[in-house]
Copies of this chain bind each other. A is one copy, B any other.
Amino acid sequence: MTGLTGGDSSLLRRINSAATLRALRGGAHLTVTELMDATGLSRPTVEGVVEGLLHERLVVEAEPDGPDARRRGRPARRFRFHAEAGHLLGVDIGSREVRCVLADLTGRVVARHSRPVDYVGAEERLDRTRTAIAELLRRAHIPRDRLWAAGVGTPGIVDRDGVVTFSAALPGWTGTDLGGRLARSLRCPVLVENDANLAAIGERWQGVAAGSDDVVYILAGLSPGAGSLIGGRVHRGFGGAAGEIGALHLLGRQAPPESLLSTTGTPLVPLDEEAVAEVFRLARTGDPVAKEAVDRFVQRLVHDITAMVLTLDPEIVVVGGWAAGIDDVVEPLRTELGRFCLRLPRVELSALGADGIALGALRIALDRAEQRLFPIDHEGAAYS
């Protein structure tokens, strides 16, 4: 009953404008008459709304096409959503590389780019991130001021302001004001989120978790992380530390992953994902020592995931992270979960692979863009 502030005419205009944009956003090229059908609005209202949207460049006149258009003298004007009126960025700042995706206002990816970053410090990592973004924009011929929003994923705990309050995975990264510093160079809203949370969002958007509201995503690695969606929303926890399960393996006073995966008795270098990939590769060739190491490691990962599943009871568990070797986890995981869980979730390998985090980041940037395109839906929340 509250929240109905502002003049009604302005409110109505926004409602009508959102309805019109929504009708066009699927890609259809519609005439005023078709827009009247789609929205239930009168001709003068649709004409007024379209005028406003043309002025904002959110709608453009579609080129007439097909033989019909030419034959019949002057055809009715058709309008389409101007998906290129703005662009969105999804960025994944990982331990080994920065991956970026660029999309139009429908979320369609128009360009991708990545740059290696392993073992560099925080400033260097930020620099390379900025460079990767600049290169991507240049190649795609998109000026910086066309960016509406950027989503950014990082390992570790992120606070509401986009500051990384803790990260064990990236050297010197704790304390970095990632949101503030990237917003200064990008000059658009920058939304920073934990990488595993974004991977979960990405899989729900375009991957194996489509249609699921209760998702656990395991970002497998030497220091595994996890992201979870509950009721379709990211669960960050009271202090943003939910899913930071990297310490679980220490609980049993057992060996860390670096030792578990060692084939020589000497632990691997922490965070050395190349060495890990090599162990997985050897195991697949049948090397018995590597196979035993992988078995130990998978057993541990399965244990960690089971603890999460018992706690959360998700609809689906998505396993992603390492490009190599990760498919060895899915079957043992299904078996173990079947033994210990009262209700067995679906267990699937990530469908988005190495792009998952960047796509999740893109999705939260797209959410922000939609708040601008359809403000009325978001004002609507004030009624509850």
Contact = CB atoms under 8 A, between A and B. Distances in A.
Given A342-B241, A343-B157, A343-B241, A311 B313 contact: no
Query: Which residue, of A228, A314, A339, A342, has the highest number of chain B Cβ atoms within 10 A?
Result: A342
Contact of A303 (B230, B241, B244, B252): B252
Nearest to A3: B383
B243 A311 contact: yes
A311 B226 contact: yes
B237 A214 contact: yes
A213 to B, nearest CB: 8
Interface in A311-342: 311-315, 336, 339-342
Scoring A252, A307, A311 by chain B CB atoms within 10 A of each residue's CB, the highest score goes to: A311
B313 A241 contact: yes
Nearest to A316: B238
A304 B312 CA distance: 13
Contact of A238 (B243, B251, B310, B313): B313
A308 B311 contact: yes
Contacts of A1: 15, 380, 383
A341 B242 CA distance: 10
A315 B236 CA distance: 12
A7 to B, nearest CB: 16
For the complex formed by this chain, how many copies does it contain in all?
2
Interface string A222-253: 00001010100001111111111101101110
Interface string A257-279: 00000000000000000000000
Contacts of A114: none
Task: Pick the most buried of A226, A239, A304: most chain B CB atoms within 10 A of its CB.
Answer: A239
Residue in A230, A243, A248, A307 whose Cβ sees the most chain B Cβ within 10 Å: A307
A176 to B, nearest CB: 16
Given A237-B214, A251-B306, A342-B166, A242 B313 contact: yes
Given A157-B343, A307-B307, A313 B247 contact: no
A185 interface: no
Given A1-B383, A307-B307, A312 B247 contact: no
B252 A314 contact: no
B384 A313 contact: no
A383 B383 CA distance: 5
A237 B237 CA distance: 15
A277 to B, nearest CB: 26
Given A251-B307, A311-B226, A238 B383 contact: no
B307 A242 contact: no
A245 B314 contact: no
29 contacts: A1-B15, A1-B380, A157-B343, A226-B311, A230-B235, A237-B313, A237-B314, A238-B315, A238-B345, A239-B313, A239-B343, A241-B342, A242-B312, A243-B310, A244-B313, A244-B342, A245-B307, A245-B310, A247-B306, A248-B306, A250-B339, A250-B340, A307-B307, A307-B308, A307-B310, A312-B312, A381-B384, A383-B383, A384-B384
